[in-house]
Amino acid sequence: MKSNAATRPGGSDSAFDSYVQIARSLRPTISDVCLLAASWEVRGCTRALDMSEVTRACKSLGESAGEQAICALLPGNKWLSLIALAGADGRRLGFLCVQETLPRGPSDRPRQAQEVRKALAPLLACLRRDLASGPPSAPRARARTERAAELEWLFKLTTQLHSSLDDGRLIERLIEAAGERLGCGFGALFVPGKRLCVERCFSSSDSAVLTDSWARVKQPVLTWVQRQNKPLMANRSSGTHAGRSPCKILAVPVPAKSGRVIGALTFLGTEEGEDFTSRELFLARHLGRQAGQLVEMQFDLMTGLYTRRSIEERAERTLESGAAQEHCIVYFDVDHMHLINELYGFELGAELIVRIAELMAQPLLPDCAIAARIDTDRFVALLPGHNAQQAVEVAERIRQAASRLTLGPIATPADVSLSGGVAQLIPVPMAFQHALSAAELACKTAKSRGRNRVELYALEDESMMRRHGNVIAIGRLREALNGDRLLLYAQPIVSLRKPGTYLGYEILLRLRTEEGGVETPGEIVEAASRYQLLPTIDKWVTERALEMLAPYRSILNTREINVSINVSGQSICDELFVSQLAESIKAARLPASCLSIEITEQAAVTNLARASRLISELMSYGVQFALDDFGTGANSLSALKSLQISRVKIDGSFVREVRTDINSRATVRAVVELAAGLSIDTVAECVETQETAEELRALGVDFGQGYAFGRPEPLSDILSSLSADESRRMHRLFLES
């Protein structure tokens, strides 16, 4: 026979309807459900199941004791999973059948059946209790319906909570929802080992009484629940002497994954309120397990400290309290952690992290403090009610304790130290992020000043402010890269010997501001240099430039135009960058001698071997090389003799003063004579007036670059102009022919 509705012999069963909804919420692919007693009597069935198939599957399991699960294929690519339910004594209680329509059938049927069984585990626990109690009497059926409804509500709440894992108030939301569902006046989660106590009062009229009652029973209830490892339900008043309170109490254990009771979830009601019943007790036990899972989600598994998200939420709550107090953030970074891992192994490194975490507690930290591990070897402590000087003293205690830690072999123990930074937590938008950034900058300053020390973030500290500016600049760089706000400009390089003749262009980087303007990215480049991010900029510039130049390769070849691209010393040392640059040059297929790479003299001398390899590799593709800022280094002659350079660019500091300073003029003349002897072209940078250009021409400089010949323009505009000129030239040639 086929069942055409959710039915149970004898009439509608709302508990079974709830079981169906729970099954579908636990495993959304389930379409139909059937529940049978051990005698194969149908206790409930949805409309689309073929009972003959269900019965055949049940009989195939035989009469063996214990729980089993099988999976069978039905017509229409439908899969039937059958789970035999057994009691604690192994006695067969009944069967749960679920039907799914799967796009692809499981390759391993036994494994599929076990996966279904695992997904439905919470529902199976309820069904075992119901089936073990036999056919329900009216009161039992009513209780079963109530429990099913509570479970359905709990699963909906759990789904909502797990879909909002970035919400820092998950535990508060759980307690608030539970208090409303239970109809009580007060709820609290108390986990002393995590320094966690979340309290919520749901009755404004009884707030004072219930809050006072909670203060009285808080510790006794926790002690009882931990020792007994079972719920406590007390509906009678217990007097008003110490440790007791005139209220109704419902408290349940909060277990960790290991099963150890780590806290208590407690609900209080007034003497005049409704008694707690088995319904509320049933729901509270499940809420306690859910609270345990949420607590563990908020703490670092290795150390037991808070996670970054959790401490951020606590910091926000501290500021929201409105207390007129100062608050501070302390930031710690383990010094030379990578060396400890390399010299002693990762196991000792992990032990060090745990030992540091143990210091981030009383007595070194005050009772009000909250500690977190926010990264591999980085820790943060929130110090409510502490001013900057007090926070520095706390940080110093922890730093000194860390330096006394002994790890590793007795003969050669690991050298353990912490660098720390302290910053105030100020009530502004994104307060925690700002305070954390400031504390991290102070910590980096401590590292730069020798490590194993604590620094206070100070606006008057010049080096700290420079670091702060660099961090902001790096943020602007990332935003510019992600927002496509970097631009390529180009400035002409012209012949001083043949006025009006162009050698080519140097490509320059510009930044489009958020307001739509264009500026030089000096601060960003300086910060990128400090944080070893210049290869990121160079990669973007070279790839974008070659991509733009490639369609104009024939014009560049016809006009004999050379385009120069700057590459930093950091990029010369980055083998990945060099290989990517070679691939980009090959893909662009630019004519020989149309592309030059400029590297600074300092970068070339500092990385002479790598620069030589780079030049040798890229010259095979027709790339020329130029030394930029020539004359500023101490080994200019060495660079010229050792590298295959086609051009040197005389630094602008000499060019600007060539007409007024005898030393600058002598330097320019010496560079020209030296380059001429090696058959290397010279280019003067920063030529700003025609008078300067004439002086340079007289000194024998080959080419000039600067405002005297043209300001930087968008590369796209220059290429379009070259294309238009070439079209006009070809048109004239056509007419002449």
Mean pLDDT in each 10-residue stretch from start to end of the chain (737 residues)?
39 66 82 83 78 71 66 78 82 86 76 85 80 62 60 66 54 82 88 81 85 90 90 71 66 86 91 84 84 78 81 83 80 91 87 90 88 91 92 94 88 87 83 87 88 81 56 74 89 90 92 86 80 85 94 90 91 85 90 88 74 84 86 58 84 91 92 90 93 94 94 94 85 72
Residue 242: per-residue pLDDT: 37
- The whole-number pLDDT of residue 168 equals 47
Burial 206-219 (b: 16+ CB within 10 A, else e): beebbeebbebbbe
| pLDDT score, position 662 | 93
Going by the DSSP 8-state scheme, the letter that residue 274 receives in this structure is P
- Decide if 534 contacts 528 (C-beta within 8 A): yes
| Phi–psi pair at 276, nearest 5 degrees | -75, 140
- What is the reported pLDDT for 4? 37
Rounded Cα gap, residues 724 and 722, in angstroms: 5
Cα–Cα distance for residue pair 245/533, rounded to 1 Å: 63
> What pLDDT does 82 receive?
85
CATH of 164-297, one of 3.10.20.30, 3.30.565.10, 1.10.3720.10, 3.30.450.40: 3.30.450.40
What pLDDT score was predicted for residue 259?
Answer: 80
**CA–CA distance, 218 with 212 (Å, rounded to integer):** 10
Other Cβ atoms within 10 Å of 495 Cβ, number: 16
Q: Which of 220, 290, 225, 214 is nearest to 263 (CA)?
A: 225
Question: Which tokens go with 569?
Answer: 């010393």
Q: Which two tokens stand for residue 50?
A: 């073929």
User: What's the half-sphere exposure (Cβ side, CA atoms, 13 Å) at 643?
Assistant: 35
Give residue 3's pLDDT.
38
**Is 483-725 the same fold as 308-458?**
no
The pLDDT of residue 545 is 95
Calpha distance 438→553 (Å, rounded): 49
Q: Report the CATH fold assignment for 483-725.
A: TIM Barrel (3.20.20)
Domain boundaries, the chain: 14-158, 164-297, 308-458, 483-725
d(CA 577, CA 344): 33
551 three-class SS: helix
* DSSP one-letter code for 104: S
Of the options 3.30.70.270, 1.10.10.60, 3.50.50.60, 3.40.50.970, the CATH number for the domain spanning 308-458: 3.30.70.270
What was the pLDDT predicted at 10?
Answer: 35
pLDDT at 402: 93
Q: What is the CATH number of domain 14-158?
A: 3.30.450.30
> At what angle are helices 337-344 and 346-359 packed, to 10 degrees?
140
In 38-107, which ranges are E strands? 42-45, 68-74, 78-86, 92-101
Q: Is residue 385 a contact partner of residue 414, using CB atoms and an 8 Å limit?
A: no
24 CA to centre of own chain: 33
pLDDT of residue 245: 60
